[in-house]
Structure 1
Amino acid sequence: MATPMSAAAFLDCLRDEGLDVVEVGAWETHNRNSKGPWGPVSGVMIHHTVTRGSAATVELCRKGHSNLPGPLCHGVITKDGKVHLVGYGRANHAGLGDPDVLAAVIAERTPPADNEATVDGNRHFYGFECENMGDGKDPWPDEQIEAIVRVITAICRRHGWSARSALRHLDWQPGKIDPRGPQFIWEDILGRVAERLAGTTPSTPKPPTPAPLPKPTKPVVDLSRLIAAARSNPAAAGTPVTYSGVRTVEAALVDAGLLSKRYSDGHYGTTTIAAYAAWQRKLGYRGDDADGIPGKTSLTRLGDKYGFQVVA
């Protein structure tokens, strides 16, 4: 935990990390401090906006709407990689979330699955909204992903935090799915943050024409290992087979609306079996063909839609 930076220090740390920062109006004093405390801060939260168009997105995040007054974040990261500062202090971005997740962020470890909404996140997190429709199809340009990496790095560097002080809205509040998309690979982003934090002092200014970043690859799911996990984990006796690809498939089932995020735990148990069987029925399978055990065709179609590839 830390005392929030001053607005001037906040602006400096972003620019020191080589970011293209746009100051929008009197952002330094635009906040919701009259409605509750701001700080101590514990991390950086990333969102997507479900909007299209940079100007409209920035204006919405600055002003808010009738049900949720602005600012809705501290900065808006548009598709061109610019960071538009729209407020500073308490902002309506995080809402209530899970105390176990807050404890994990403070301890700088991977957060558990969120299943409560009892802690005021607007008090504890810097918030950044990213321009994206959030439908799993709207692309995340390389410039935008790089800006997200640098924003997280800048704040973590200034507070002496590790990359694990960053989290997604979906990690914090039950029912949230943001941010998502096939190019938004969270562990890759955190890995790049860790590399920057481990390096030398940040470069400034940002090069006007940065070299293109390599395209991230899709996660790979091994069909045979997944089937072994699916067939062993529901069994009452014996040691269940564990396989990291289960989490990838469960995340896809969550995106498909077939599995509650709180059951996305890497265990291919009866709940995941039921969710996958629902996916099979959605594809037209019936009877024994919709038993919740993945087949190559159904798994490939799930991967094509939700961003992973299958190896047999």
Structure 2
Amino acid sequence: MSTPLTADQFLDALRAEGATVVETGGWRTYNRNAKGPWGPVNGVMIHHTVTKGTDSTVRIVHDGYEGLPGPLCHVMIAKDGTIWTIGWGRTNHAGAGDPDVLAAVVAERSLPPDRVATVDGNAHFYGAECENLGDGSDPWPEAQLLAIEQFAAALCRAHGWTAASVIGHKEWQPGKSDPTFSMDGLRGRIAARLGHGTPRQVPPPSRPQVSLSQLIAAARSNPGMAGTPVTYAGVRTVEAALVDEGLLARTYLDGHYGTTTVSAMSAWQERCGYSGRQPGQAADGIPGRDSLTRLGAKHGFDVVD
């Protein structure tokens, strides 16, 4: 058993495994700690979401359902392999489970059948919700399986655990079926990764980079006007993403960050949940780190500076 990692320690561990991470606003202090303990932690639990679409899935696991408030996990792992931070602390993911299973996780030995649900799992496990319909037919892309492996291995490595500390919800609580892939197969992947002296290196994909500061400067260059050509290539990268989102007509994919692009970015920010007037909360079309990072995660670019 271990003291839970801090949010920063967790991020460092994820990135050391080569994971691609998107941080949601306020996740470091978003939790259910007022409702019960979190820790000592004993292992990692994997779930599937029974949802489709990354944006809607992030929203659901963040906000929760009627009768089951969020956060519903520590991270959501999308089909493209992106790991979205949701909350940190106690989260509503594990529910009650079998004390014999918990004892086996603590001892890092083979799991017994889960027969009863009498122990509070939210206090003892890190939890990942993974985007999948959960019908047994929805595929698990390799990029997503790799990210699940990275997430679990990062925590095991940080705590000095073996792959036996990683379980599925279906192995914890009677009647659950998630996740639909083989947990033995996942534990084998994690064991292989942990058996190396250093994390397995995954060649990074070739992705364009967008400078946040230069994009903000471009957005503010001609307020209230049609805009002038901007030599910074990141403008066209972002415009192309907005076109793909259906928020900007293709005719405006021309390197101008004028009022039309401002309006399109504002619409994207509203999709991300921004609508206020305060700095960092406004859907004003001036790019912010969170909304731009979310756009990049969907459309294959990275945000720098």
> What TM-score range do you get, normalising by the shorter chain?
0.5 to 0.7
State the 1:205 CA deviation.
Answer: 7.7
State the match for 2:164 in structure 1: 164
CA distance in 1, matches of 2:187, 2:201: 21
Q: Deviations over 1:230-283 (max 9, x none)?
A: xxxxxxxxxxxxxxxxxxxxxxxxxxxxxxxxxxxxxxxxxxxxxxxxxxxxxx
**Identity level (%):** 59
State the match for 1:16 in structure 2: 16
* Equivalent position SS for 1:83: strand
Q: 2:192 aligned to 190, 195, 214, which one?
A: 195
State the 1:159 CA deviation.
Answer: 0.2
**One-letter amino acid matched to 2:195:** A
CA distance in 1, matches of 2:183, 2:115: 20
* Equivalent position SS for 1:45: strand
The alpha-carbon distance between structure 1 residues 206 and 64, as it changes in their structure 2 partners (threshold 3 A), is farther
Asked whether the 8 Å contact 2:58–2:76 carries over to 1, the reply is yes
List alignment gaps of at least 5 residues for structure 2: 207-305
The alignment status of 1:102 with 2:102, answered yes or no, reads: yes
List alignment gaps of at least 5 residues for structure 1: 210-312
Instruction: Quote the RMSD (CA, aligned, Å).
Output: 1.4
Asked whether the 8 Å contact 2:193–2:200 carries over to 1, the reply is no
**One-letter amino acid matched to 2:154:** A
CA distance in 1, matches of 2:155, 2:74: 12
* Equivalent position SS for 2:52: coil
State the match for 2:89 in structure 1: 89
State the 1:61 CA deviation.
Answer: 0.4
* Equivalent position SS for 1:140: coil
How many residue pairs get matched?
207
State the 1:185 CA deviation.
Answer: 2.5
CA distance in 1, matches of 2:17, 2:31: 24
CA distance in 1, matches of 2:39, 2:201: 29
* Equivalent position SS for 2:127: strand
Q: How does 1:202-241 map to 2 (within 5 A)?
A: 202=199, 207-208=204-205
TM-score (norm 2): 0.66
State the 1:206 CA deviation.
Answer: 5.7
CA distance in 1, matches of 2:112, 2:197: 32
* Equivalent position SS for 2:104: helix
The alpha-carbon distance between structure 1 residues 98 and 85, as it changes in their structure 2 partners (threshold 3 A), is same
State the 1:66 CA deviation.
Answer: 1.4
Asked whether the 8 Å contact 1:20–1:206 carries over to 2, the reply is no
Asked whether the 8 Å contact 2:79–2:144 carries over to 1, the reply is yes
The alignment status of 1:79 with 2:79, answered yes or no, reads: yes
TM-score (norm 1): 0.65
CA distance in 2, matches of 1:186, 1:119: 21
State the 1:186 CA deviation.
Answer: 2.0
**One-letter amino acid matched to 1:202:** P
State the match for 1:233 in structure 2: none
List structure 1 runs of 4+ shifted beyond 4 angstroms. Answer: 203-206
State the 1:110 CA deviation.
Answer: 1.6
